[in-house]
Amino acid sequence: MNTSIPKQLDDNIQHVHFIGIGGYGMSAIARVMVDMGYKVSGSDVARKELTEKLSKKGAHVFIGHHARNIAGADLVVYSTDIPKNNVELAAAKEQSIPLIHRSQMLGRLLNEKHGIAVAGAHGKTTTSSMIALVMEKSGADPTYIIGGEIIGVGSNARAGKGDYVVAEADESDGTFLEYYPQIAVVTNIEPDHLENYDGNFENLKKAYRQFLSQVKPGGAAVVCSDDGYVREMLPQVSKQVSTITYGIKREADYTAVNIRPGDRTIAFDVLYKGNSLGALTLSVPGIHNVYNALATTAVCMEAGLSFEAIVKAIIEFRGAKRRFQVIDEVNNILVVDDYAHHPTEIEATLEAARSTNRRIICVFQPQRYTRTFFLFDEFSRAFKEADEVIIVDIYSPANDPEIEGVSAEKLVDLIKQNSNQNARYLSCKEDVLAYLQSAAKPGDLVMTMGAGDIWKVAERLVEKL
């Protein structure tokens, strides 16, 4: 497959077509390309909120895949999720239209400017969203390409006129190795997506080491010193690159002390090399967001912003869509949705929920049989902070077939053994909705969790309430 843009075509590319334009990553790049003045078209299997927004911006969105959709395109962009037999991919090959992976397109945008690439098992979307919002509110006018919509901004992407490009660096399929950033962030490292690394955690860690080695000379690696696997990487950082650490439990350049949780807020004091910079307040809860804010502070100060500007801007951050997103509060029942789909994320999100001092009913939809298989035991121990746990059937794409012995029912049995006796299995969303309508009481927090479509339950529950 031709996956490079011939240099002689660079200046002649006017029309870019995206296969699967409705995904968060693809739609973000498409949005930036529209803002930059390119003619943008794309296709997806169904209309979505993001495709509607792109259409309003001027992109031509086709519903359904067909060879004629790529007519007139100078370049076709695809993602890992697009099957190899896709008719638009085949048509592009037949017509010798250059093909490029989503990550390569993002790499071109990020590598040509001062790229800020945020990698890690957890926190990528929130941290990159925080950085983008703080830089925008502080007048840095960044370009940003985020894997989730920033609440209050109403978009996951924007083409700015400033020097910086902020983006998530996705390790799931190794495509983050397309990036050569000015500032690289690594929030944490965990054995996830191992199906793309031959089932070998060492291969994943090797990829992270390579990512850090690709920071441009004179740039910076901003890394969490509380994560043991991240600490292992530090010797791999080039001597031509500054290493900036942040953390809470261990010595680091940026640390948080005097942490003060509140109801859907958290405040703390920031130290830089032991000296107080001042207090910082977040309008989102949880210790995990303290880490995200420390990373944001380190990046933004490295980019030349003052701590005072960061404090003023960051309090306006209300989260990214599907990251502890408050759907509504009805009859004193708080309904929240979260993308947490890994055991560590579940634990961190439930810990944040606990700070609201409400009874927590957690509805979790596992995503992918492979992830559930590799992390079965970890999932079973992740729900101790919930008062009640509901597990629904595993949500998995077509390229992730069922694995014998891996099921939602078995996960419920293990949860009862390892973290929460009050767990139950309900197979479908209709059953969950009916149960929640009868079980949820004033003062409760109902939280839906997962990377699939479980968010629909949260939205429908609010309607029913």
CA 233 to each of CA 60, 99, 285, 294, 367: distance values in angstroms, whole numbers, following the listed order? 44, 34, 29, 19, 29
Q: Which of the following is catalytic: 51, 125, 143, 245? A: 125
149 is catalytic: no
Q: CB neighbours of 239 closer than 8 A, spacing ≥ 6?
A: none
Q: Which amino acid, one-letter code, is at 133?
A: L
246, 253 contact by CB (below 8 A): yes
The rounded radius of gyration (Å) of the Cα atoms in the chain is 22
Q: Which of the following is catalytic: 88, 136, 168, 190? A: 168
Outline where 214-278 has alpha helix (H). 228-233
Q: Which amino acid, one-letter code, is at 12?
A: N
CA 141 to each of CA 134, 160, 216, 430: distance values in angstroms, whole numbers, following the listed order? 10, 5, 22, 45
- Rounded-to-integer distance, Cα 261 and Cα 55, Å: 41
Q: Which residues pair with 279 in a beta bridge?
A: 269
CA 262 to each of CA 87, 222, 353: distance values in angstroms, whole numbers, following the listed order? 52, 28, 11
- Rounded-to-integer distance, Cα 408 and Cα 392, Å: 6
240, 218 contact by CB (below 8 A): yes
354, 383 contact by CB (below 8 A): no
Phi/psi of residue 462, nearest 5 degrees: -60, -40
Outline where 162-286 has alpha helix (H). 201-213, 228-233
Q: Which of the following is catalytic: 53, 124, 137, 321? A: 124
124 is catalytic: yes
- Rounded-to-integer distance, Cα 26 and Cα 20, Å: 7
Q: Closest Cα partner for 288 from 219, 220, 339? A: 339
Q: Closest Cα partner for 323 from 129, 144, 118? A: 129
Query: Catalytic residues, which ones?
Result: 124-125, 168
